Amino acid sequence: MEVKLREIQKTATEEILNVKDKKELNDVRVKFMGKQGLLTSILRGMKDLAEEERKTVGALANVVRGEIENNINLKMKMFEAEELERTLNSEKIDISENAVGIEKGALHPVSRVINKLVDICVAMGYEILQGPEVETDYYNFEALNIPKNHPARDMQDSFYISDNILMRTHTSPMQARTMEVRKPPFKIIVPGRVYRNDNDSTHSPVFHQMEGLVVDENISMADLKIQLNIMMQRLFGENIKTRFRPAFFPFTEPSIEVDVSCPNCGGTGCRICKGTGYLEMLGAGIVNPKVLEMSGIDSKKYSGFAFGTGIERPAMVKNSITDMKSLFKNDIRFLKQMK
Ligand code: DAH
């Protein structure tokens, strides 16, 4: 019996070695270990053996069975690994996904002009301040020498919150607010949003300005002209010419309005400058001594100049825009062209 067992082990090992697939392997399993299997029938026949012999043969039979099972399992694992490898090689899953395109944004034309003006002024030593958009009647008008019932208020049709509180109509209130709390000398600019009850192709109820104020000893119109010339040339280009016209603002005396030669046509006249060759850019002047005094600055010792420029006008000129509204509609197709 022992010999038979050894023989079974040998043939089983050989056959397991030679099977070509899972099915053949299974056939081998049935052949040796199945109910009618060769090994099974030997094990069954053991009950007829003498006790002593049964022990040794039993032990050997267990070893043989373990060995065969082990080999079958190893072979099965090998087939499974091969099968997996084959499926992995044949099934290609495309796990890539269409990427969402990254659109490059651009700064709004208004932001670009503000940034540019701020850069120009900071390079000339100005400090940037910001002020409240909801303003008192006092700072928006009174402290700028525009008393109640003054006709200059008419030019700035306003949005009132209550009798004495309104949306600021210009950035000039920051002149008074600054002079009240600072000792000269100082050089400040105030970029920001302002509000007026205006609404047509060149006016919007909300728009932007940048105020400038310099207070020191011996400040004169010459200083103002130099600063504005530099500012306008850096904003529009070295070839720009400026033109200073006498004007009136209650808070500056004397006052001027500043035009620049049209950057679009160079001064010969075009659609942008409506044929005049010049574009009105800003108001400015020497700070009215009355305004200095109202804010507690000694007008005998100090003088100052101030200017206030709109932002939308330069943004329109620089981008050949004729309708101011297009700056506020935020139509993405329009803004895309502004890059
Ligand atoms: N605040 C004026 C306006 O909105 C513009 C202005 C004119 C500002 C003269 C100034 C200035 O600082 O000196 O129309």
Ligand 1 neighbourhood includes 140 CB (under 6 angstroms): no
* CB distance 232 to 318 below 8 Å: no
The reply to whether 169 and 274 lie within a common domain is yes
- 305 in ligand 1 pocket by Cβ < 6 Å? no
Question: Do 61 and 180 have their domain in common?
Answer: no
Task: Note whether 76 and 193 are same-domain residues.
Answer: no
Tell me, yes or no, whether 160 and 285 share the same domain: yes
pLDDT confidence of residue 332: 84
Tell whether 79 and 157 lie within a shared domain: no
102 part of a folded domain: no
- At 178, is the pLDDT very low, low, confident or very high (cuts 50, 70, 90)? very high
* Amino acid 312: pLDDT: 95
16 falls within a domain: yes
Query: How far, in Å, CA of 20 to CA of 31, rounded?
Result: 16
Q: Is residue 104 part of a domain?
A: no
In a domain, residue 202? The reply is yes
Q: Is the pTM of this model over 0.85?
A: no
Q: Is residue 99 part of a domain?
A: no
Give the residue with greater pLDDT, 3 vs 173. Answer: 173
Domain count, the chain: 2
**pLDDT band per the 50, 70, 90 thresholds, residue 261:** very high
Q: Whose CA is nearest to atom 2 of ligand 1?
A: 308
How buried is residue 271: exposed, middle or buried, by Cβ count under 10 Å (0-12/13-18/19+)? exposed
Region label for 269, one of left (φ > 0), alpha (ψ between -120 and 50) or beta (otherwise): left
Mean pLDDT lowest for which of 130-139, 194-203, 284-293, 302-311? 194-203
Pick the last residue of a domain from 56, 91, 126: 91
Q: Does pLDDT of 336 surpass 90?
A: no
In a mutational test of the pocket of ligand 1, which residue from 179, 188, 251, 288 has the highest number of ligand atoms less than 8 Å from its CB? 251
Residue 124 in domain: yes
Question: E-assigned strands of the chain?
Answer: 127-128, 134-136, 160-162, 165-167, 186-195, 206-216, 242-249, 252-261, 278-287, 303-310
Predicted local confidence at residue 95, as pLDDT: 87
- pLDDT band at 5; cut points 50, 70, 90: confident
Amino acid at 16: I
Ligand 1 neighbour 283 (Cβ under 6 A): yes
**Ligand 1 nearest-atom number relative to CA 287:** 13
Tell me the pLDDT band of 182, cut-offs 50, 70 and 90.
very high
Distance CA 119, CA 131 (A): 19
Which of 245, 249, 288, 313 should be mutated for ligand 1, with most atoms under 8 A from CB?
Answer: 249
The domain in which residue 43 lies consists of 2-91
Domain identity same for 144 and 269 = yes
Closest CA to 43 of 26, 66, 61: 61
Ligand 1: centre distance to CA 212 (Å): 9
Domain termination residue (choose one: 28, 62, 91): 91
- Judgement on whether residues 180 and 311 belong to the same structural domain of the protein: yes
C-alpha 4, offset from chain centre: 84
Which of 49-63, 112-126, 138-152 is predicted with the least confidence, judged by mean pLDDT? 49-63
Among protein residues, the one whose CA lies closest to atom 11 of ligand 1: 284
Whether residues 152 and 299 share a domain: the answer is yes
